[in-house]
Structure 1
Amino acid sequence: MKNFTRNLFFNIFGKLILTVTIFSVMLVVIGYPIYDVIKGTTSYGIFKFIDDNKNLIASVIWIVGIIIILAWYWIKTISYIVIVAEASNSIINSNEELIHFPTVLKQMEDQMNNIKVDMLRKEQVAKEAEQRKNDLVVYLAHDLKTPLTSVIGYLTLLRDEGQISEELREKYLNISLEKAERLEDLINEFFEITRFNLSNLILELSRVNLTRMLEQITYEFRPMMATKNLQCILNMAPDVIIKCDVKKMERVFDNLIRNAINYSFENSIIKITAAQDGDGLKLKFHNQGNTIPEEKLNHIFQQFYRLDAARNSKTGGAGLGLAIAKEIVELHKGTITAYSENEVIEFEVFIPIIS
């Protein structure tokens, strides 16, 4: 913007100098010969007055000419300022029409249109995220009601049925406990939404043994894997050391492994590999599951986006896990990408090695 302002100033100033120069040359080349002709043919009236006061008249013509030219250029400049002010107002008011300037302001037109398009895009993304969030809150509120109704119903039966068998009592208690645990998960998702909106992630870097970290995380998921008879294979060198925010990176891997379990076929294998890649480390989380369509894959890291939009889905959380994982990885100057084809889902994480 500064370069453009300087260019605009020199452009207008240059045109001013050029116009004044041309005006002066024309006055000298054309004005005085005409005056000499007139002077030779008559010596009275208006021409006599001109002849007697030619120096004064020439000065007045110069001054008036310069004033007119300066006034014209200043008016032109002010008109440019008005145009730019109106365009700025258009950007602030989120008007979707592109900005159009005179040719001399073409550079500023391009810059302001770029700003406007970027702002409109960000505004649209924010609106879509807000809509997804609102939809999710409605879904979660609906989900909360279902298990709560079940818990109340079974507990009421246990209270009112005096002759209930021990076997049936045990069954009702187990169902109530399962529904209560589901309630806890849903409430945690509500808190997750709130934390995501309020938190500003700040890294606390320290050296960590990545191999042991992944071994521990995968071990903790064994009960969850057992429900689908899944096997997890960790293929990486022993004692791989990286520098990262341990708690936040654990959250990334937790989300990726949980995601792999939720979307894996039963009796399949989850593979986790890590290898040196240039100046960083590349990790791959590979599982067998239904192919994710490309249109969904393109949105998978967006806030509040769930692959399974079903209201009562056990696998569809708040749609924040992958969005938060992406933010954490990028804070570490890394990248995270997702691929899916031929019933294979793979997440690839690249983490630079920080010395």
Structure 2
Amino acid sequence: MKIKRDKIRNDYTKLKSKVFFQMFLITVAAAVAVYLLRHILRGHIGDRIVGYLVKAFQFKNSDAQEIYQLVIRNNIEMILFVVILIFLLVILFRFSVFWFTKYFDEISAGMDKLTEESNAKITLSPELDFMENKINQIKNNLEKQKKAALNAEQRKNDLVVYLAHDIKTPLTSVIGYLSLLDEAPDMPLKQKAKYVGVTLEKAYRLEQLINEFFEITRFNLQTIVLNKEKINLLFMLQQMADEFYPMLTPQEKQVSVNVPDDLTLCGDADKLARVFNNILKNAIAYSYENSIINISAKQQDKNTIITFTNQGNPIPKEKLETIFEKFYRLDSARSTNTGGAGLGLAIAQEIVTAHNGTISVESNSENTTFTVKLPS
């Protein structure tokens, strides 16, 4: 399909047809000129040449006619050929320069319009339609990239504002409770313990938000370098599920890991752990209370398929297309408990892509499933 598409885009048929037509007209014109010139040289022009020789060089009329016969009339075909050849070369060169500089000017003008803030389509001559299609395709791609960059920058700026606001809240609480503890050294132990507990909780939240600031910077600057090794997938996923136990308990959620004992995977263990961590964290944050999050894996041909399925509110269809974008957050209300930097799934996709794999998501009224497909 690609070869066929390129052939269509580079179709020079119209351009070649026009050039051929122009050359044909010039050739016809030259043929007419030859015909006329032959008759002219044989008619009154011939008589004038003979008269000129008689008058200028004092030749006899018979001698002048003989010279005209030998030099011009007998060689008229050669003379005409040389004259017409010179004429054709001059005309062809002149028109060729004109035609192609005209086309270059059109293409140059079209290229200039690539940077213009306009939705108007760039148009060229009909015989340059293949170039017109290419330029308009480039223009559309540039506009899409610019729009995506502006949207990403806007989301990033909004996120920084949100995080700055969120940082201020726990910081104010930490300062407030520490001030109370400082002002009342004889405070009852039970009350002091309560204030210390609240302060510690807010300090942890503050640490989390600060880490998210660093995460934004790291994500923009880092280049993913893989250190591949053999991974026991069951052990990795089971250990991860155990680490999330404190997050699961308050809402009585559970994680069920269904992975064959002997299933192994070749990849960067630390980075893939981050992928699975981000997906599981997302599943926990958006699943119903008292629900079970299922993690399963299987071998399929030369690939390993890992799925994370949770029961929760379905992800709207329009959001499924942007869920892996940088700084995208499903939680538009920015819940303090679930809101993150919006980098988790974007980073997961970068790591999976670096492993030559794919990551996708499906969501309906019953459950949401993230699927990671990696080469074994």
Identify whether the pair has TM-score above 0.5, normalized to the shorter chain: yes
* Residue 32 (structure 2) pairs with residue 26 (structure 1): yes
* Residue 353 (structure 2) pairs with residue 330 (structure 1): yes
TM superposition shift of 1:227: 2.0
Amino acid at match of 2:36: G
CA contact under 8 A between 1:271 and 1:287: conserved in structure 2? yes
For residues 124 and 50 of structure 2, the distance between their equivalents in structure 1, rounded to whole angstroms, comes to 48
Q: Which of 146, 152, 161 is the matching residue for 1:123? A: 146
Amino acid at match of 1:336: I
RMSD between superposed Cα atoms in Å: 3.0
Query: CA, structure 1 residues 42+218, in 2 after alignment: closer, same or farther (shift >3 Å)?
Result: closer
Which secondary structure does the structure 2 equivalent of 1:127 belong to?
Answer: helix
For residues 304 and 169 of structure 1, the distance between their equivalents in structure 2, rounded to whole angstroms, comes to 39
TM-score, normalised to structure 1's length?
Answer: 0.88
* Residue 108 (structure 2) pairs with residue 103 (structure 1): no
The residue that corresponds to 2:188 in the other structure is 165
Which range moves more in the overlay, 186-195 or 306-315?
A: 306-315
CA contact under 8 A between 2:314 and 2:365: conserved in structure 1? yes
Amino acid at match of 2:315: I
For residues 237 and 195 of structure 1, the distance between their equivalents in structure 2, rounded to whole angstroms, comes to 35
Amino acid at match of 2:193: E
Structure 2 spans left out of the alignment, 5+ residues: 1-5, 53-64
Amino acid at match of 2:113: S
Structure 1 spans left out of the alignment, 5+ residues: none
CA contact under 8 A between 1:16 and 1:69: conserved in structure 2? no
For residues 212 and 166 of structure 1, the distance between their equivalents in structure 2, rounded to whole angstroms, comes to 43
Query: CA, structure 1 residues 175+343, in 2 after alignment: closer, same or farther (shift >3 Å)?
Result: farther
The residue that corresponds to 2:60 in the other structure is none
TM superposition shift of 1:107: 1.1
For residues 256 and 320 of structure 1, the distance between their equivalents in structure 2, rounded to whole angstroms, comes to 11
* Residue 283 (structure 2) pairs with residue 260 (structure 1): yes
Which range moves more in the overlay, 137-146 or 208-217?
A: 208-217
For residues 45 and 282 of structure 2, the distance between their equivalents in structure 1, rounded to whole angstroms, comes to 103
Which secondary structure does the structure 2 equivalent of 1:227 belong to?
Answer: helix
TM-score, normalised to structure 2's length?
Answer: 0.84
CA contact under 8 A between 2:230 and 2:266: conserved in structure 1? yes
Which range moves more in the overlay, 145-154 or 160-169?
A: 160-169
Which range moves more in the overlay, 138-147 or 221-230?
A: 221-230
Which secondary structure does the structure 1 equivalent of 2:251 belong to?
Answer: coil
The CA deviation string for residues 218-274 of structure 1, in whole angstroms up to 9 with x for no partner, is 111112111221111111211211111111111100001111111111111000111
Query: CA, structure 1 residues 94+197, in 2 after alignment: closer, same or farther (shift >3 Å)?
Result: farther
For residues 318 and 74 of structure 1, the distance between their equivalents in structure 2, rounded to whole angstroms, comes to 59
Amino acid at match of 2:323: I
For residues 335 and 268 of structure 2, the distance between their equivalents in structure 1, rounded to whole angstroms, comes to 34
TM superposition shift of 1:43: 6.3
How many percent identity over aligned positions? 40
Amino acid at match of 1:303: K
Structure showing greater Rg: 2
TM superposition shift of 1:95: 4.9
Matches within 5 A, 1:193-342: 193-342=216-365
CA contact under 8 A between 2:361 and 2:368: conserved in structure 1? yes
Amino acid at match of 1:317: G
Which range moves more in the overlay, 233-242 or 51-60?
A: 51-60
Amino acid at match of 1:127: L
The CA deviation string for residues 158-177 of structure 1, in whole angstroms up to 9 with x for no partner, is 11124422111111111000
Which secondary structure does the structure 2 equivalent of 1:153 belong to?
Answer: helix
TM superposition shift of 1:73: 1.8
The CA deviation string for residues 325-349 of structure 1, in whole angstroms up to 9 with x for no partner, is 1111112121111111114111111
The residue that corresponds to 1:90 in the other structure is 113
Amino acid at match of 1:284: T
Query: CA, structure 1 residues 252+48, in 2 after alignment: closer, same or farther (shift >3 Å)?
Result: farther
Query: CA, structure 1 residues 335+94, in 2 after alignment: closer, same or farther (shift >3 Å)?
Result: farther
Query: CA, structure 1 residues 4+46, in 2 after alignment: closer, same or farther (shift >3 Å)?
Result: farther
Query: CA, structure 1 residues 349+166, in 2 after alignment: closer, same or farther (shift >3 Å)?
Result: same
TM superposition shift of 1:59: 3.7
Aligned residue pair count: 349
